[in-house]
Amino acid sequence: MRQAGYKSLITARVISMALTYGIGTFFFTATSAFATEYSLDQTLAFAEKYSAALSANNHEIHALHNQADSAMQLPDPKLRFGIDNVPVEGPNNGRFTRNEMTMERVGFMQDYISRKKRARQSDSFLAQARQTESDNDVIRGRIQREAAQAWLDLALSEKILKSAENLVAETTKQIDLQKVGVATGRTLASDVLDIKITLSAMQDKVTNAERDMLIAKARLAELTGKDIDSIAGALPSFNHLPSNERTLAYGVSHHPEIIEANRTADVAKARSAQSAVAAIPDVGVELYYAKRNGYEDMAGIMFTVGLPILQSHRQDKDHEADLARMMAANDQITLLMRDHTAQIHTLVAEYNAAYARWKRQTDEILPLQHQKVTLMEAQFQAGKSNLSAILEARRQLLDSEIEAGNAEKDVAKIWAAIRYLIPQDI
């Protein structure tokens, strides 16, 4: 019985281990299968589709077009009914049927607003719709810039992480070698401690690189709604500006913010045109039928007409205010043109400076650091240098690798800011 119990227990443990291994393998395979890699164009497309700002803007455009259609319609007619001329004194006080002037009355009333006024109001809504449509390009440009910068940040953070991990792995190998040296008496025990201290400092750099990758992934998830684990496809060529500085400056008028400012000026112009006809009076027409008890029934028609007797103090003042806002909107275009021109020159200057730092790191400093490490290792083998010098050289090499990676990030970030000043078709 005991042997059977032991066999059952062993069998259960084996099954448990197999299930655990199988489930673990399944989850590892599933995780690998669902690892997502997207190219830059795919990321930009996902970001646009995921944008709630674009969706809200499109709904606003639809609303303004509906308001433009509604503005061309006349107001709803009104039903008027009641009792006129009820006596409040004398023997017929409060009686509805004793006085020949008392009557039950029902009628319909319609307000007629000038077609010109309705057309100007509709034009104002259409101008607002065009302004909102221009907001789409402003939003798309911002989305593309931010998504491209996050994608490039992830790509270059991966590159920095790989470099840091390789240098840490090479340094880790030295620990086992030095332990053997300590055992044989060829190496001091303090040298092993020096390696561990240096390795710990280098692992801090790896941790920082991993942090940067997680931040970039979180930003991409915020912008696209996708869990992007890595990048796919080649990096864009940010070794040079998307266009020369003069061409970029000439293209300022095509920037979405400038186009939006022009549409804002169009809205101000449409509103000034609307207020210019505000003094045209509205006309109301009422048709009614009145029934009198025991007397002849009556019918009639009544008109109401607005009297803009204080036009110079009301409608004219409103029109002058709208004209002033139109002039202010035109001045705002000029200010934005100047601001964007300065922005172009600033971005180009920042790009050139970042590019110079990056090339100096990759073409000058990194080769020298590699040479230094090789030289220190050769001198150590020849007994002309100590281990601390090698460790310091490797630490400096890692710092230079990270500096070069960060400089490349700066170049890519500024390049994306310039590239997507105007949204691109994807």
Q: How confident is the model at residue 90 (pLDDT cuts 50, 70, 90)?
A: confident
- The predicted model gives 240-264 an average pLDDT of 92
Q: What is the mean pLDDT of residues 138-142?
A: 96
Inside any domain, residue 262: yes
Q: Is the pLDDT of residue 192 over 70?
A: no
pTM of this prediction exceeds 0.95: no
pLDDT at residue number 33: 42
Share of residues in the chain with pLDDT > 70 (%): 86
* Domain membership flag for residue 29: no
Q: How confident is the model at residue 169 (pLDDT cuts 50, 70, 90)?
A: confident
Q: What mean pLDDT is predicted for residues 107-114?
A: 94
Q: How confident is the model at residue 7, as a pLDDT?
A: 43
The answer, yes or no, to whether residue 177 has pLDDT greater than 90, is no
Residue 9 belongs to a domain = no
Segment among 48-52, 103-107, 422-426 with least mean pLDDT: 422-426
Looking at residues 134-142, what average pLDDT do you find?
Answer: 95
Q: For residue 38, which of 196, 281, 233 has the smallest C-alpha distance?
A: 233
32-36, 66-70, 289-293: range with lowest mean pLDDT? 32-36
Q: How far apart are the first and last CA of the chain?
A: 74
- Given the structure tokens 């790191």, which residue do they identify? 361
**In the chain, % of residues over pLDDT 90:** 59
pLDDT greater than 90 at residue 417: yes
- Residue 404 inside a domain? The answer is yes
For 289-338, how does the pLDDT look when each residue is reduced to its tens digit (9 = 90+)?
999 887 888 999 999 998 888 888 888 898 999 999 999 999 999 999 99
Distance CA 265, CA 277 (A): 19
231: helix, strand or coil: strand
Reply yes or no on whether the pLDDT at 170 is more than 90. no
Q: What are 82's two structure tokens? A: 């009641």
Question: What's the pLDDT score for residue 22?
Answer: 45
* Predicted local confidence at residue 9, as pLDDT: 42
- The whole-number average pLDDT for the span 197-225 is 90
* 402 within some domain: yes
In a domain, 144, yes or no: yes
User: Residue 68 belongs to what domain range?
Assistant: 38-419
Task: Give the torsion sign (CA, 358, 362, 364, 370).
Answer: positive
Long-range (24+ apart) CB contacts under 8 A made by 314-321 are 315/275, 315/278, 315/279, 316/279, 318/275, 318/278, 319/272, 319/275, 319/276, 319/278, 321/275
User: pLDDT, tens digit, for every residue of 347-389?
Assistant: 999 999 999 999 999 999 999 998 988 888 888 777 777 777 7
For 223-239, what is the mean pLDDT? 90
What is the tally of structural domains in the chain? Answer: 1
Residue 230 confidence class, pLDDT cut points 50, 70, 90: confident
| Residue 66 CB neighbours (<10 A) | 12
Region 57-72 average pLDDT: 96
- 391 domain-assigned: yes
84-93, 98-107, 131-140: which is most confident: 131-140
CATH of the domain at 375: 1.20.1600.10
Asked if the model's pLDDT at residue 34 lies above 60, the reply is no
Burial class (CB in 10 A: 0-12, 13-18, 19+), 159: middle
- pLDDT confidence of residue 10: 42
Q: Do residues 229 and 218 make contact, with C-beta atoms less than 8 angstroms apart?
A: no
**pLDDT of 23 higher than 60:** no
Tell whether 396 is covered by a domain: yes
Average pLDDT value for residue range 265-278: 94
Residue 425: the pLDDT is: 87
Q: What is the mean pLDDT of residues 55-59?
A: 96
Q: What is the pLDDT of residue 256?
A: 94
**Residues sharing a CB contact under 8 Å with residue 280, sequence separation 6 or more, in sequence order:** 114, 116, 117
Confidence of residue 35 (pLDDT cuts 50, 70, 90): low
**What distances in angstroms separate CA 304 from CA 76, 108, 113, 281, one per listed residue?**
16, 13, 12, 10
Do the beta carbons of residue 209 and residue 157 sit within 8 Å? yes
Question: If you average pLDDT over every residue of the chain, what do you get?
Answer: 85
